[in-house]
Amino acid sequence: MAIDQQSASPEPAPGYAGKRLVRGFSTTGGFVVTLFLTFLGLLAITFFIGRVIPIDPVLAVVGDRATQEQYDVAKIAMGLDRPLWMQFIAYVGNVFTGDLGMSVSTGRPVIEDLSRFFPATFEMATLGILIGCALGIPLGVTAAARQGSWLDQAIRVVGLLGYSVPAFWLGLVGLALFYARLRWVGGPGRLDIFYDGLVEPVTGMILVDSLLRGEIDIFWNAVSHIILPAAVLGFFSLAYIARMTRSFMLDQLSQEFVTTARVKGVPERVVIWRHAFNPIRVPLITVIGLSYAGLLEGSVMIETVFSWPGIGNYLTTALLNADMNAVLGATLVIGAVFIVINKISDVLYRVLDPRAR
């Protein structure tokens, strides 16, 4: 039936993809509902994991020298004497009102901590995945188009390095070379010390905030700080993306319809990009989405090496301090990121692949 409706409309305008995007959203049918249900499932899992691990949240608050009375008072105040399901409902209610509890280790509300730490990771991961895609996809396509050539071999070596080089080592070497020796980039941290705290956080992403405020010199300083860690992250996703792109492309290039395109006399560049690459956009989105979600989890190694106040660092510190509210909060954010990225990929599938509509 959808076909009939389509034929009734006049011939597709160039901006057809926009229409597909809208349809992608609407055909998802209760997009928001599924999103909500998935999120609820995530909440349940994080909550019960938080309750079954052998850490006493009361003890973490009152300290181990508290008397039994103090302990009981705190336990009741925290609502931990109630049945588990009531606690869960209260927890869900709190989460939806933006209350994730207090962090024991930082002494601030967890939500506030997350709104400081997550944008730092988000900024770095986004830049990283952009670098990874911008270089990884062309490299993978080139390698596949010239399978067996020295270029292909070189790209495969890069891909192999991306799997085998430790992140902290690459980060340290990068710092030693580009910061300490060549002075091309800024050092650890998000900004030079004298710029720190000058920009009022709006989104929490310094690159965005500084531009919003029109502080161009702060922007460039932030760029000089973020470029190296983002490039290191980008290198790892580049390696992965290039390898996957190469194997997807090799698969497509042996398909009959690619030969059909050659029979038509289509130039090789068009054969590769239009005929072989377009069909692999869907699996590539899966690869990129997973890779991006992985980066958004925060890389503890990279964040530690570059003194980056990101979510990976925050989560690790919280875990080591038995700071359960912070752990649950950070886990929730990471889970939510995965859900959102999955949903975005779902919608993009429908836009890019007519067979999935």
Residues that bind another protein (CB under 8 A): 3, 6-7, 11-12, 255-257, 259-268, 274-275, 278-279, 352-355
Sort 78 into a burial class: Cβ within 10 Å, 0-12 / 13-18 / 19+. Answer: middle
Task: Please report how close the Cβ of residue 347 comes to another protein at its closest, in angstroms.
Answer: 17
**Which of residues 142 and 221 has its CB atom nearest to another protein in the complex?**
142
- What residues contact residue 46 under an 8 Å CB cut-off, 6+ apart? 328, 331, 332, 335
Task: Please report how close the Cβ of residue 147 comes to another protein at its closest, in angstroms.
Answer: 10
Distances (CA, A) of 79 to 53, 75, 76, 103, 326: 18, 6, 5, 17, 18
**Which of residues 169 and 257 has its CB atom nearest to another protein in the complex?**
257
**Which of residues 21 and 172 has its CB atom nearest to another protein in the complex?**
21
Q: If you ran DSSP here, which 8-state letter would residue 349 be given?
A: H
**Which of residues 253 and 339 has its CB atom nearest to another protein in the complex?**
253
- What residues contact residue 200 under an 8 Å CB cut-off, 6+ apart? 209, 213
DSSP per residue, 129-166: HHHHHHHHHHHHHHHHHTTTSHHHHHHHHHHHHHHHS-
Quick check: 7 and 333 in contact, CB under 8 A? no
Task: Please report how close the Cβ of residue 139 comes to another protein at its closest, in angstroms.
Answer: 22
**Which of residues 8 and 193 has its CB atom nearest to another protein in the complex?**
8
Task: Please report how close the Cβ of residue 33 comes to another protein at its closest, in angstroms.
Answer: 29
Task: Please report how close the Cβ of residue 249 comes to another protein at its closest, in angstroms.
Answer: 14
Task: Please report how close the Cβ of residue 266 comes to another protein at its closest, in angstroms.
Answer: 5
**Which of residues 277 and 292 has its CB atom nearest to another protein in the complex?**
277
Distances (CA, A) of 85 to 54, 88, 153: 19, 5, 57
